A = this chain, B = another copy of it.
Amino acid sequence: MWKVVVAVSSRSQITPLSGFPEWLPEQRMVEQELLDRIRRLAELYGFVPLETRAVEPLEHLVHQGETSKEIYTVGRLQGDDEEPDELGLHFDLTVPLARYVRQFRGHLRFPFKRYQIQKVWRGERPQEGRYREFYQADLDVVGDGELSLHFDAEMPGIMHELLATLPVPRATVLVSNRRILDGFGAGLGRDDTTEVVRALDKLDKIGAAAVREVLCDQVGMREAEADRWLGLAAIRTPDTGFVDEVEALGVTDDQLARGVDELASVVAAAAALPHGSVLADLHIARGLDYYTGTVYESIIEGHADLGSICSGGRYDDLASGDGRALPGVGVSVGVSRLLGRFLGGGAIAASRATPTCVLVALVAEETRDRSAATARELRARGIPAEVFHEPLRFGKQIRHADRRGIPFVWFPAHGAADGDSVRDLRSGDQVPADATTWKPPERDLRPTVEMVA
C-alpha cells in the first residue's frame, strides 16, 4: 500500500562515478580525523572558520580563463525565467574567498585570518590523485590595504606543524619568492620570465640537462645564461645561506634584492623549527600567476612524485575592485590527494571501524532496560556505547563487537549474586565493573588514526 519512493531502479546505475571518490565508514573516520587535525591547528593559530556556498556566479568562475573548461555548471531541471544568475560549482576556495571578502568587507576584522575546509569540483579527466570532487583545506591571511611580511614569515611554521600533525611521513617546507626569479630576469635584461619559469618548473620532472636544452633551444638563450638560471634554481639552503649564493651569481636588480631580503626574513623566522624542516629553494615558482612574492611548497619524504600537497604564497590583491587592495598570503592543503595516496593505499587506518568503545550485551529481552541503562550511564560520561539489539548467545554478541574492533563488551549482572563485568576483547580479561565509575584507557575511548607501517 505504501510505495517505496527511494528506489534504485537498475543495477547499471550503481557503478561508481569516476573521479568522485567515496570511502567506507572506517575510511571516512580517517578523513574526518585529518580534517579535524587541520581545523584544530588552524584554530590554535587563531584562524576563524569560514564556509562559503558551493556555487558562484558563472561569470566569476570563468573570469579565470585557464580553468574554464574544468567548471561544472549548475542549472535547474525545471528552471523558470526568474533565475537571474548562471551558476557554477566552485573549483577552489580562493575565488569564493575573494568574493566573500569583498561582499562582507564591512563586517570582517582585518587582518582577516580564516581557514576553510570544503569540497571543490573540477571537471578534469580523472586519474591517480586527480579527482572531480575533492577536499581542500585553505588557510589565508588577508589585509585591508596592506599586510605585514610577518604573516609570510609565520606561514612555514604553520605548514611545518600542519604537516607534522598529519599521519604521513616527514615533510619538508620549501620557500622562495617570485621577485627573485623576476628580478633575476630583469637583471639579465629579460622583462618577461614566463617561459623561463615554465621551463624551470619542470626541473623535478625532466632534470637539469633537459631544462638546459629547453632554455637554449626553445626560450633561445645562450648557454652561459642558461647556466646562470640553472645555478639560481639549484640553490637550496636550510637557512639564509642562499643570500650569498645568489650574490655569487653576479646579477644585480632591485626586485631581486627585495625578493632576497623578503625570503631571508621568512627563512630566518623558521630558525626555531627543527633544522632542515624549512628550506629556501629557489627553483619553486608555483605555476599560477597570481602569486607576487613569497611562494611555498612542501614535499613528503619518499613521495616526491605526489607533488606538493601543501602550497601557496603571497598575492598583492585578492579581489580587485573599488577601494584599497586586499593583499593576502595563504596555503592550501590537498587533503583528498593525500588521502588517495595514503588511505587508499592502506598506509593510514583507524584503530577500529566504529566510534563505539563498549558493546553492552543484551542478556534477555526482559532485561533490556538494564542494558539500556548501563549504556546510558557510560554515554553520560562520554564513553561511546551501544546495546546489542537481540538477546543472542554471548558468543555471537562478542563476535559482533570483535568484527567491528569494539574493544570492550559489557555484561550486565544476570545471576542473583552476580555483578556487572566488562571484557577486554584483545586480552580476553574480564573484570567486575560499575558503569557509573568504570573508564576505558584513554587510548581506547575513541578510534585513533595512525600510519600502519
A residues near B, CB below 8 A? 1-9, 11, 13-17, 20-26, 28-29, 31-32, 43-55, 57-60, 62-64, 68-79, 85, 87-89, 94-95, 98-100, 102-104, 107-109, 111, 113-114, 119, 121, 123, 133, 148, 150-151, 154, 178, 182, 191, 269, 272, 288-292, 315-322, 353-356, 368-369, 372-373, 376, 379, 382-387, 389-390, 403-404, 446
The answer to whether B24 and A107 have CB atoms under 8 Å apart is yes
CB-contact partner of A292 in B2, B121, B384, under 8 A: B2
User: Taking CB as reference atom, which chain B residue is nearest A147?
Assistant: B389
The answer to whether A320 and B4 have CB atoms under 8 Å apart is yes
Q: How far is the CB of A287 from chain B (nearest CB, A)?
A: 11
User: Taking CB as reference atom, which chain B residue is nearest A101?
Assistant: B8
The answer to whether B98 and A6 have CB atoms under 8 Å apart is yes
How far does the alpha carbon of A25 sit from the alpha carbon of B316 in the complex, in Å?
A: 23
- Protomer copies: 2
CB-contact partner of A53 in B22, B62, B379, under 8 A: B22
Q: How far is the CB of A150 from chain B (nearest CB, A)?
A: 5
How far does the alpha carbon of A372 sit from the alpha carbon of B273 in the complex, in Å?
A: 12
For A48, the chain B residues whose CB sits under 8 A away are 25-26, 28-29, 353-355
For A70, the chain B residues whose CB sits under 8 A away are 77
Q: How far is the CB of A69 from chain B (nearest CB, A)?
A: 4
For A3, the chain B residues whose CB sits under 8 A away are 289-290
The answer to whether A50 and B63 have CB atoms under 8 Å apart is no
Given contacts A13-B57, A355-B43, A368-B150, contact A111 B8 (CB under 8 A): no
For A113, the chain B residues whose CB sits under 8 A away are 386
For A291, the chain B residues whose CB sits under 8 A away are 2
CB-contact partner of A2 in B32, B79, B289, B387, under 8 A: B289
The answer to whether A51 and B28 have CB atoms under 8 Å apart is yes
The answer to whether A53 and B373 have CB atoms under 8 Å apart is no
For A16, the chain B residues whose CB sits under 8 A away are 103
CB-contact partner of A59 in B9, B55, B353, B354, under 8 A: B9
Q: How far is the CB of A350 from chain B (nearest CB, A)?
A: 10
User: Taking CB as reference atom, which chain B residue is nearest A23?
Assistant: B51
For A382, the chain B residues whose CB sits under 8 A away are 44
How far does the alpha carbon of A52 sit from the alpha carbon of B62 in the complex, in Å?
A: 27
The answer to whether B14 and A99 have CB atoms under 8 Å apart is yes
CB-contact partner of A5 in B54, B64, B321, under 8 A: B64
Q: How far is the CB of A268 from chain B (nearest CB, A)?
A: 9
For A20, the chain B residues whose CB sits under 8 A away are 53, 55
How far does the alpha carbon of A89 sit from the alpha carbon of B78 in the complex, in Å?
A: 14
How far does the alpha carbon of A88 sit from the alpha carbon of B89 in the complex, in Å?
A: 12
For A78, the chain B residues whose CB sits under 8 A away are 68-69, 123
User: Taking CB as reference atom, which chain B residue is nearest A122?
Assistant: B76
5 tightest CB-CB pairs across the interface, nearest first? A46-B356, A25-B48, A43-B355, A46-B386, A20-B53
How far does the alpha carbon of A445 sit from the alpha carbon of B98 in the complex, in Å?
A: 31
The answer to whether B59 and A13 have CB atoms under 8 Å apart is yes
CB-contact partner of A150 in B109, B317, B389, under 8 A: B389
> Which of A47, A53, A446 neighbours the largest number of chain B CB atoms within 10 Å of its CB?
A53
How far does the alpha carbon of A160 sit from the alpha carbon of B313 in the complex, in Å?
A: 48
